[in-house]
Amino acid sequence: MRIGVDGGCLSNRRGFGRFSRSLLAALGRVADGREFVVFVDRPSLDHVEVPEGFETVAVPVREAPSLAASAEGRRRVADLLAFSRAAAGAKLDAMVFPSSYSFFPVWNVGRVIVTIFDALPLIYPDLVFPNRRGRLFWTVKERVAVHSADRILTTSEVSRRDLMRHYRLTGDRVGLIEAAPDPIFRPLPSGPASDEAIRRYGLRPGERFLLYVGGLSPHKNLVRLLQAFARSAPSEVRLAIVGDFGDVFLTHAPELQAEVERLGMSHQIVFTGFVPDVDLVHLYGRAEALVQPSMLEGFGLPPVEAMACGTPVLASTAGSLPEVVGEAGLFFEPTDLDAMTRAIAALLGDRDTRSRLADVALHRSARFTWDAAARQLLEHLDSLGPDTHLRVA
C-alpha cells in the first residue's frame, strides 16, 4: 500500500503540529512494509524531519501552511492546488491528513482519512475566529474535508459524538485515534540542569508554582484562571503561563497581561512565551500541578505530558479532559470561578492529595503511546478495504 501523508503542519508549534510530527515518527517504526510519501511545503522543508525510508515530495508554495492556516484564513488557492496536484500525481492508494488544519482537496486517491480534533469552531466560533472571513474560509475547508473523507478520526469519545452530531455523520464514518506524550516527558531528578531551566523562565528553584501550557486563545479560559489563582494561591506560590506569543491563531495575550495588572498579581504570575521540550520537561516536573481550564479540549496533550512527568492535573470538565485525565486530577466546571478556586486551593493546601494524584498520573500516562496511535491509523486504513473510490477532478 502506498500511503500519502500531509506534512503541511509538521512545522507548527501548537498541539496539532506536535500530533502530526509524533504520529509520523511512530509510523516510521510500525510501517510494516507499507510505502509512505510525505508532502511537505518547500518553505518548511529544512525545519521538519521525515522518517528514514519515507519518500518526501517538496511542494512549491508561496507561504507555509503552518503560517497560512490561521484564524484569519489567508491560505492561497494556488498553494492548496499545488498540494493537490502533487498528491494526484503520486499514485497513492490512500491519503492521510493528520490534521484538518492543513487539508487540501484530493483526487486520484483511493482512500482518504482526515483527523479533526474537536468541534470547538462549531460550538464556540466567537472564541476561535477574529472575523467573518476566517470563519467562512474554515467552514468551507472543513466541510470539504468532511465530505472528502472515507473516515474521520478524532482523539476522544466526546469529540467523536460532537462531530457526529454537528455534521450528521454515522458511527462508521468517525473513528478514534490516540494521542500520547513524547518520550522526552518523564520524571527527572532535581539538579543544576533543572534549576537552570527554571531560572530561564523567571522562576526560582525551590519555589512552588502552578503551570499552564498551551495557546493563549480565548477558549483556553485563562482570564478565569488568573482570577481563580488570585483568589486562592498563597503569596509564595506562583503561576507560570507557557504560551507562544507568535501564534497564528486567535490570541488575547494583551487582555491577559492587562488582567494580571488589574489583579495586582504581576509579582506572582509569569508569562514565559514558547518553551522548548528540553526545558518544558523540567517545568512540568517541578510544578505543583498543571492547570487546564479550557472551555473545550479534543484531547489535551499538555495534561498527558504533565502526567508522564508525575505531575497531577487541575482540569475543567469540558470536552475530553475527564476522559483523558481520569483519576489523576481534580475537576471543575470551566465557567464556575468558585469551583476552580476551590480546586486550586485543595491541591495547594494538601500535600497528601498532591502526592496521591501524582502517583496516579504517572501510572495513567503509560496507557498512551504514539506507536499504538500509529497502529490504530493503519487499522483504520486496512478496514476501509482497497480502493474505496477514486476521486477524479
Q: What is the pLDDT of residues 105-156, one digit of tens each?
A: 999 998 999 999 999 989 988 888 877 877 888 888 899 999 999 999 999 9
Q: pLDDT at position 388, please?
A: 47
* Backbone dihedral angles phi then psi of residue 152, each to the nearest 5 degrees: -100, 130
Q: pLDDT at position 74, please?
A: 65
Contact 258, 231 (CB under 8 A): no
Residues 172 and 240 in one domain: no
Does 186 fall in a domain? Answer: no
N-terminal to C-terminal alpha carbon distance within the chain: 22
CA dist list (Å): 184 to 49, 194, 284, 288: 17, 14, 11, 19
Is residue 99 very low, low, confident or very high in pLDDT (cuts 50, 70, 90)?
Answer: very high
Residues 164 and 223 in one domain: no
Does 255 fall in a domain? Answer: yes
CA 188 to chain centre: 23
Residues 203 and 299 in one domain: yes
Residues 62 and 161 in one domain: yes
| pLDDT score of 248 more than 80 | no
Q: For cell 486517491, name the residue.
A: 109
Contact 347, 353 (CB under 8 A): yes
Number of domains in the chain: 2
Contact 152, 146 (CB under 8 A): yes
CATH of the domain at 31: 3.40.50.2000
CA 299 to chain centre: 7
Residues 127 and 210 in one domain: no
Q: pLDDT at position 72, please?
A: 53
Q: pLDDT at position 73, please?
A: 54
CA dist list (Å): 10 to 26, 203, 276, 368, 380: 14, 31, 15, 21, 22
Does 14 fall in a domain? Answer: yes
Rounded percentage of the chain residues whose pLDDT exceeds 70: 95
- The CA R_g of the chain, rounded to the nearest whole Å, is 21
Residues 252 and 303 in one domain: yes
Task: Give the Cα separation of 132 and 135 in Å (integer).
Answer: 5
Residues 174 and 217 in one domain: no
Contact 47, 11 (CB under 8 A): yes
Does 187 fall in a domain? Answer: no
Range of the domain at 313: 192-365
Residues 216 and 289 in one domain: yes
Residues 145 and 197 in one domain: no
Residues 197 and 340 in one domain: yes
Residues 209 and 327 in one domain: yes
Does 26 fall in a domain? Answer: yes
Q: What is the mean pLDDT of residues 179-191?
A: 94
Does 160 fall in a domain? Answer: yes
CA dihedral 318→324→327→328, nearest 10 degrees, is -100
Is residue 70 very low, low, confident or very high in pLDDT (cuts 50, 70, 90)?
Answer: low
